[in-house]
Structure 1
Amino acid sequence: MTAINESVRWDVVVVGAGPAGAIAARQLGLQRKRVLLIDKAALPRDKVCGGCLGGSALTLLKGIGLGHIPIACHGVPLSKFELSSGGATARIAIGERIAISRRAFDDALIREAMRAGVVVCDKVQGILQPVTDDKCRNVTLRRVGKEMNVRADVVVVATGLANVPRECVTHSTLHSLIGLGAISDHVPYNFAPGSLHMAYGSAGYVGVTAVERGRFGIAAAIDPSALAAAESPGRLVRKILQASGSMLATDWESLQWQGTPSLTRRTTPIASHRCLLVGDAAAYVQPFTGEGIGWAMQSGALVASLLVGSLSQWDSAIEYRWKQLFDKTIADRHRFCRILCTCMRIKAVRQLAVWGLRQAPCLGEPVMRYLDRPLDRTC
């Protein structure tokens, strides 16, 4: 851990180098703040995620000067959405979307943060310490048996669905699904190029997209009881896809599956003394067509716009303002997807949706337009 000087006081320490943390760090670095970005994993790494950047996420990237990243990383443009359930499939046109693996996308965002002057350290666990000094927050950094403490004017927590600070409590929604994800090097089934395919079943749903360099990203939201009863994650995913009418080709059991905690959750508080939570660490609702990355990036850009100017003198009004901003800009999107996904768990609703979209694909356009609304990145 010699790359980090313990005597340095950081303007901001960002814990978690996913889209929320990397965007927050980069935008704060552009403000010429001294920023340290840490992540407990060895970077780059894969994550459980559909890897779909919707229109709102792409607009946000363009707005902060990073619109080139998805194509530069060989992301795959998507032109249609396929919804399968009960052996039937509906196909509708979708707006601008690009599929990209989290390994490639997160790595590109981290490199942009470094170009903005951010110091990045991986394989480092950051532990926020209790408030003992009104003038700073202390963070303990741990890496392979080594430990050191650093001070920061503000700590931005972007640790995803797990590892929130001890001063916070995470509330999971009753009957929440859990996430599964894997990357395949082979065509998984009769897959249509340029499509986002979502297959629904009684145990949950599976989303599949082609990502960069001829690979395929698989992300699923699964009922925990169904997963516990299954012989393996791969067999359960196979079962959902088979029931939807897909002609399978991949050996699903051999894929390297990763899991997540409950997908629908909310952490309280999301702001405390010199500490702000962003992205999935603050709240998360299972997305419908990959909106989660957009929500994360929006919160990262938004928190950076809130932390302008000197941070040495802390104003508790910042905490209240962050709660307001998060509820106004992100919780609204969460509510819509929560209602949509809850309805789609009902078999009769799924069948009606597929039947209706097969008869009149234009019925899906208002939903896609709503999901693609531009994300406000300023406070």
Structure 2
Amino acid sequence: MASIKKNDIKWCDVNTKAERIERGQKVPLRLFNRPSPNSNSIDLKQYHSGFEDVVGIRPRYSLLLSSDESTGNHLFRNGCVFVQSPAGLVGHLYVMSGPLQVTNSSALPTILISHVICDYSSKSDSEESLMEEDEEYRYAFKTTSVEWKKLRPPKNMPMPAGACSFGRGVLYCSQGTLSSDTGGLWEMPQNQPPLPVLTSYLGRPFNSIQNVVKDRKGGLWFTDASTGFELDIRPKPKLPNQVYRVDTDGQNVRVVADGFGRPTGIAVNKDGSTLYVSDTDAIRADGSTDPTRAATIYAFDIIQRSGSSFLTNRRVFAYAREGVPSAVICDIEGRVFAACGDGVEVFSPGGIALGLIEILGGCTTICFGSTDKELLIGSGQRLWSFLMRVPIRDS
């Protein structure tokens, strides 16, 4: 497919003039960006003073790409993963689309992979002046141009969902097709065919793997849910909806948690002591909503027993304010960022709602970007970059 080049990346300062609201009202303690949100802007809502410590008083954002005026399809839906090039000034972002109908009505939907090549430049003269005034705002790089390519996944890696950086490339969660022997975890080194890492649980097919995260001890944790069956792209499940762990070489696969409606997002904190799993059962695969079902982020302690990693002390960490927490990630301070129906909801390590990066229509996938202060946000038809005040990942 042809690529699209965009050289006019525009950056906007979020208006940070705050207005205090009297306590006792069922509204945030403080609001940013008084105008109502629109599809071309990002707004902020603060629920706790700790939110300002994260986003600061002068955060910036940019709408990198949009499919509004082309196909209108949700091309920035799942599996947002960023891979930094060795040169440092170019990064590769991979984002999966939602299921797209093909021209043949009898054929299964397809999922496209957006490959976005981000070019970064050194700070401009105006940014130099800004940094001299306030050293807390140190944006070493910002996106100056992007090249967008839409790719079809290889036939042996159908219907990709989540992904994470892995080795020399990306590890994809392939949901599979109506054939029971498809799906699994596949490594795709850059510019090379995919390689199978794990394609079944001891011979039994997975339902449709949703998301995967890699820990620092050489383990892969992933969620498996019956989403594909509900969308008529997978056969009837032969396993419960569960969370798994496997070594990065595909050996020693184990079930580590069960009892979920639809486990979807997954994240591990910096020191590897806590695993977060989101249950998105409140929104069914067909888009219908049941507010009595889970829209919950659960936390688990990761412990070692007899040389294996186990999950203990399951607890409710947070409940989404709106929609469901489709994706979750942890920053270097243990804060949790969740892609929800109102935008990116931000929680303290103790589960306190700090604030909201509000996006009209919500978002479904997030990941860290090139700089240690960049958050990349996929909201269906739009791809955003948001720059924080403090580092949110290791540089």
TM range (shorter): under 0.3
Query: Is the strand fraction higher in 1 or 2?
Result: 2
Q: What TM-score comes out, normalization by structure 1 length?
A: 0.23
Which structure has more RCO (C-alpha within 8 Å, separation ≥ 6)? 1
